[in-house]
Amino acid sequence: MQWSEFSRWGAKISDWARGYHETLRERPVRAQVAPGDVLNALPATPPTVGEDMDAIFADFEKTVMPGITHWQHPRFFAYFPANATPPSMLADYLTSVIAPQCMLWQTSPAATEMETRMIDWLRQSIGLPDGFSGVIQDSASSATLAAVLTMRERALNWQGNEKGLAGLSTLRIYCSAEVHTSVDRAIWVSGIGQDNLVRIPTQGPTRAMDPAALDAAIKADIAAGLTPAGIIACTGGTGTGACDDITATCDVAEAHGLYLHVDAAWAGAAMICPEYRTLWTGVERADSVVFNPHKWLGVQFDCSAHFLRNPDDLVRTLAIQPEYLKTHGKDGIINYSEWSVPLGRRFRALKIWFVLRSYGLNGLQEMIRNHVTWAEELCTAIRALPDFEIITDPVLSLFTFRYVPDGTTDPDRLNQTLVDRINDDGRIYLTQTRVNGNLVIRFQAGQVNATREDILFALEVIQEISAELT
């Protein structure tokens, strides 16, 4: 492709993108294809001769787009959003054009120094105190893995990386069942092992870890000759929005000298609104905190803000400095590749800069407050419906409910059927979860362009399709 052709296609794709986003409500939210449809539409062998971009783009629309679930759809109420605002898209486009590899200060000084500043902007925005620094990771999963590796090394007196885990103390990590499964994966990858992830019972409407049970579990492990290494707490858990009592959990962690990591991957974005910070009171005492701007701040995936009270422990855990990665003659610089598992790093700070400057905190706060208000309004409307019950009340913009008409003999099957019918219908997209072993329907509002009408439209669809089932 010649640069003249690139320019023409860049303009064409820009126009296509605008039309795509402006007409999203006309598309089914979830991809309406069967397994294998896209695979079978793609040639089994690669082309030997280059093809014209007109043909490639025509096949993109014909083959790829039918198999896309539209995460930017304003009626996407499943999982958590992965928002992409126009300024974020433009920033990522510029990043793709420049194509820097930002592993070291010297490989892209602007990327490193902007990352430092953007992390601090985010720190101020969510109310973390001075003294926290941080790094932009690809996802909360990577931040959690980094935290678990740091817990491991601290508990083993920094011997794990050098000696391996064989023959060393058996480590224990503590969390509740409400944390994300990325915690389990971090335990696997770190070599600590699933059997050493201790699940603490939860209590109360926030489904928080029981601090007394946490303390008792740690003491029992110490008595058994095991080595407690750290605690992972959550604010806004994926299933129901569970929020641990961070103050009480910090009390336990500090009493035993344990590292505490707070996973606020989704809910952390809402902390730009001071009134929601009661959900994580005490967070300033945590050793590390993570939230994803790509979930609820309109910053294109992938972008995860990982904050640390003492980054030296993380760097000691992850840094490797062969001669070819040293920056000579420059003192006091940061090489963020020493703060993350991958060596290669993208220029993620640019899209944070674009978004924060484009909307300002006031604009982002208004969006989040609207989502919370509208979700609460929908929850109230569903609560008033016959045959429906609210299972967990809203945490920010997330709640769960269940359809239980009289005479229901298998409510789990009925509710799964309802979710499946809704998603096959395509007008909205929901997912299911389990609460106390029972299958329930999960609703979460957070798509950046969603309106009150979009969110209340879910009520119409839920009523209509549930009526068809009975």
pLDDT for position 100 = 80
> How is residue 309 written in tokens?
């009270």
Kindly report the number of other CB atoms within 10 A of residue 98's CB atom.
12
What angle is formed at CA 136 by the lines to CA 135 and CA 142, rounded to 5 degrees?
Answer: 95
Q: From CA 143, how far away is CA 138, in angstroms rounded?
A: 8
Question: How much is the pLDDT for 3?
Answer: 87
State the maximum Cα–Cα separation within the chain, in Å, rounded to a whole number: 77
- Residue of 426, 277, 336 whose CA lies nearest to 136: 336
- DSSP label at residue 323: G
Q: Which pLDDT does position 341 carry in this prediction?
A: 85
- Residue at 68: amino acid letter: I
Pairing of strands 398-403, 438-444: antiparallel
Give CA 114 to chain center in angstroms: 22
3-state secondary structure of 103: coil
Q: Reduced to 3 DSSP states, what percent helix, strand and coil does the chain have, rounded to the nearest 5?
A: 50, 15, 35
From 338, 341, 345, select the one nearest 322 (Cα to Cα): 338
Closest CA to 298 of 3, 85, 36: 85
| pLDDT in the model for residue 444 | 96
Rg (alpha carbons) of the chain, rounded to whole number? 24
Nearest residue to 232 via CA among 265, 256, 261: 261
Half-sphere exposure of 383 (CA within 13 A, CB side): 13
* Alpha carbons 177 and 209: distance in angstroms, whole number: 9
Give the global pTM.
Answer: 0.89
- Length of the chain equals 470
- Provide CB contacts within 8 A for 349, sequence distance 6+: 111, 114, 115, 117, 118, 119, 136
CA atoms within 13 A on the CB side of 436: 8
Q: What does the alpha-carbon distance between residue 372 and residue 447 come to, in Å, rounded to a whole number?
A: 12
Going residue by residue through the chain, which has 470 residues, state the pLDDT in tens, using 9 for 90 and above. 888 889 899 999 999 999 999 999 999 999 988 899 999 999 999 999 999 999 999 999 999 999 999 999 999 999 898 899 999 999 999 998 887 887 887 778 888 989 999 999 999 999 999 999 999 999 988 999 999 999 999 999 998 888 888 888 899 999 998 888 888 889 998 889 999 999 999 988 889 999 999 999 999 999 999 999 999 999 999 889 999 999 999 999 999 999 999 999 999 999 999 999 999 999 999 999 999 999 999 999 999 999 999 998 998 898 876 544 555 445 567 888 888 887 888 889 999 999 999 999 999 999 999 999 999 999 999 999 999 999 999 999 999 999 999 888 899 999 999 999 999 999 999 999 999 899 999 999 999 999 999 999 999 999 999 999 87
Please, what are the domains in the chain?
3-74 (1.20.1340.10), 101-346 (3.40.640.10), 359-469 (3.90.1150.170)
Helix (H, G, I), strand (E, B) or coil at 284: helix
Burial class (CB in 10 A: 0-12, 13-18, 19+), 246: buried
pLDDT at position 332 = 63
Residue 53 to residue 61: CA distance in whole angstroms: 12
First to last CA, the chain: 58
Residue reference for tokens 């974020």: 88
Neighbours of 296 (CB within 10 A): 30
Burial of 275 (0-12, 13-18, 19+ CB in 10 A): exposed
